[in-house]
Amino acid sequence: MEELAPLEPFGECYDVFSQSENGQNETAEKVAQCKRLARDIKSRRATRGSLPADIHRSLPNRQVMDELVELYFATFETCFRILHLPSFRADYESYTNHLDTTKDLFLLRLLLVMILAGTIHGDDNVRNEMATKSSSWIYIAQTWLSAPLEKNRLKVEGIQIHCLLLLARQVTRVGTDLVWISAGSLTRMAMQMGFHQDPNRFEEMSTQQKEIRRRLWYTILELNVQAALDSGMSPMIMDEDYNTQPPSNANDDDLDDGNQEEHPTHISFQPVLAGSLPLRLRVTKVINSLQEEPSYEQVLALGTELAQACRDAATEIEHAASMDKTAKFASSYCSHLLRRFPLCLHFSYAITAQRNPLYSYSQKVCLAAAQDIVSLLEDVLYYRLLLAGGGMFRDIITRGALIIFLGLCPEPEGDSSFFPGRDRARKESLLQDGRRVVQYAKDRMWYGETNVKVYVCLNMMMAQAECRLDGKPSKEAILKALHESLDTCHDLLRTRSSTNPADPSTETWAFGGMEMPLLADFDTDFDFLGDTFDFGFSDNVFPR
């Protein structure tokens, strides 16, 4: 057509460039030479360097590495599906036999896997060893990801590293206040690679590749919604922004055979989490909205949907746990990730219910959710994660703790009991939860917590609750708890300061003249009390 005549050169140019690979004529050969020269120029540009040459020195012995890898796949990987087990095992065997030829992409994933599993390993010495190395390893991975964008980072392996890094930062409390920013970057990177579109829309993709992409996409969505909930920000993506179907519960070995029948030998809880993701994205958007406050009717409607989703998930979780006794950690993890949402949705109304009984239902919902979360402290393996973790793992000492102590210490004018002894008997279960939370806050001091306000405040609240339930004055007991808990924190911090040396295997590493760890420098101190007793949340959640 004549009106397209000005575009004719584009067609000729396309023909020339498409022939350049074959070198059919002199012009095509010239184009091919230009491409080779361009690649040569790009290869000389400043780019991310290799990992430290002596990084292998910092790795634990083979037996410990084997244990950490196995532990990771039995725990974290059951909820966040990031790695393909047969592929990882093959790369792992290759690494242990040929240390010098291992690719950085695999080594970074191995380091992050060991960080995650190291926080819950049963041996104190292994946990301590991993704790001394984790900041350095996280810095290495973050530096690799933060370098100027290169196309070879836009691979499945790059997405896996990013996912593992976000989890590792939270379980070790390194840069946890910045996770929402990184989760947004990860989401956009995945969308750039088409993960938000179901892989059935793409041609020439194996069953294994499709399933890995679906697993990674729903892992990214889960990391995104959890980080948004913690940061008070928007999840930045809603269910209408993607059409990727939820992952199956198929075995990794079955995927290698092209068979997607669901006869798993390892329980996966990701499909359980995926089922409620669209709802939890909507709930998070409402909770963190900067626009007009949602009506209580809207909160109740969302809460009803959320309660049903949690009940359905609980049924599946209990069924899976009954079939596989090793799935206790996974069931605790999955329950925790879900129960946080009703707690956060009803939280501000539960606080208001102290003075306005119209919101007593929210107080009931929050108290049930808080007690469910506190019950996770009874899971020995999961308890280690809660001790070490920040981000999504710290709400037991924020919203959960506050709700429990409000239940123990209602407003004086609302406490109509004339028999303190009976009141104590009625609340004995809640008292036990309060004591668990206080002990948990103390134990966290041994596991890296440096904010003394957390334990001090909870100890003071426990003293007040005990006095109120016994019908005794509380002022003197609160002051006594203040001084005793401060002394305890001082002794704990002094002991830790003298017994936590740096890892000598990482001291010689150079990172462009920058001091380590970068993320820890940016991480802000979680102000548990502050001047307004805000428990780390914005002032507007508390009644004036």
Instruction: Write out the chain's pLDDT in tens, 544 residues.
Output: 455 556 556 566 556 556 655 556 676 777 677 777 777 775 665 555 567 777 888 899 999 999 999 999 999 999 999 999 999 999 999 988 877 667 888 999 999 999 999 999 999 999 999 999 999 999 999 988 887 666 667 889 999 999 999 999 999 999 888 999 999 999 999 999 999 999 998 878 888 999 999 999 999 999 999 999 999 998 989 999 999 999 988 877 767 655 545 444 456 789 999 999 999 999 999 999 888 788 999 999 999 999 999 999 999 888 877 777 778 899 999 999 999 999 999 999 999 998 899 999 999 999 999 999 999 999 999 999 999 998 888 877 778 999 999 988 765 555 545 455 566 667 888 999 999 999 999 999 888 888 888 899 999 999 999 998 888 888 999 999 999 999 999 998 988 887 765 565 555 554 443 344 444 333 333 333 333 333 333 333 333 3
Nearest partner of 464 among 438, 426, 492, judged by Cα: 438
- Residues 528 and 454: their CA atoms lie apart, in Å, by 6
Q: What DSSP string runs through 179-237? A: HHHHHHHHHHHHHHTTTTS-GGGSSS--HHHHHHHHHHHHHHHHHHHHHHHHHT---S-
Could you give phi then psi for residue 91, rounded to 5 degrees? -65, -35
Q: What is the largest CA-CA distance in the chain?
A: 101
Buried b (16+ CB within 10 A) or exposed e, 273-294: bbebbbbbbbbbbebbeeeeeb
- Residues 11 and 70: their CA atoms lie apart, in Å, by 56
Cis geometry, peptide bond prior to residue 517 (ω within 30 degrees of 0): yes
> Does residue 111 lie in a domain region?
no
Q: Which residue shows structure tokens 């400043």?
A: 46
**DSSP assigned state of 292:** S
Grouping H, G, I as helix, E, B as strand and the rest as coil, residue 543 is coil
| The dihedral sign for the CA sequence 80, 85, 91, 92 | positive
Nearest partner of 273 among 76, 68, 113, 70, judged by Cα: 76
518, 521, 523, 526: CA torsion to nearest 10: 150
> Does residue 536 lie in a domain region?
yes
> Does residue 512 lie in a domain region?
no
- Residues 110 and 62: their CA atoms lie apart, in Å, by 13
Nearest partner of 156 among 113, 109, 92, judged by Cα: 109
Residue type at 207 in one-letter notation: T
Nearest partner of 369 among 346, 352, 391, judged by Cα: 346
Helix (H) or strand (E) holding 163: helix 156-171
Q: Which residue shows structure tokens 């900041």?
A: 135
> Does residue 182 lie in a domain region?
no
> Does residue 425 lie in a domain region?
yes
- Residues 289 and 286: their CA atoms lie apart, in Å, by 5
pLDDT of res. 147: 72
Tokens of 373: 């979360």
> Does residue 446 lie in a domain region?
yes
Structural domain containing residue 485: 409-497+522-544
**Overall domain count for the chain:** 1
**pTM for the complete prediction?**
0.84
Angle (CA) 151 154 157, round 5° = 125
**DSSP assigned state of 259:** -
Angle (CA) 296 369 455, round 5° = 110
* Angle between helix 104-118 and helix 85-97 axes, rounded to 10 deg: 110
pLDDT of res. 249: 81
Buried b (16+ CB within 10 A) or exposed e, 354-384: beeeebebbbebbbbbbbbbbebbebebbbb
Tokens of 339: 């129960």
- Residues 47 and 285: their CA atoms lie apart, in Å, by 38
Residue 447's contacts (CB-CB under 8 Å, 6 or more residues apart) are: 387, 388
> Does residue 91 lie in a domain region?
no
Residue 17's contacts (CB-CB under 8 Å, 6 or more residues apart) are: 31
> Does residue 160 lie in a domain region?
no
Q: Are 216 and 81 in contact (CB under 8 A)?
A: yes
- Residues 52 and 288: their CA atoms lie apart, in Å, by 41
Nearest partner of 272 among 233, 322, 328, 315, judged by Cα: 315
Neighbours of 484 (CB within 10 A): 14
pLDDT of res. 478: 93
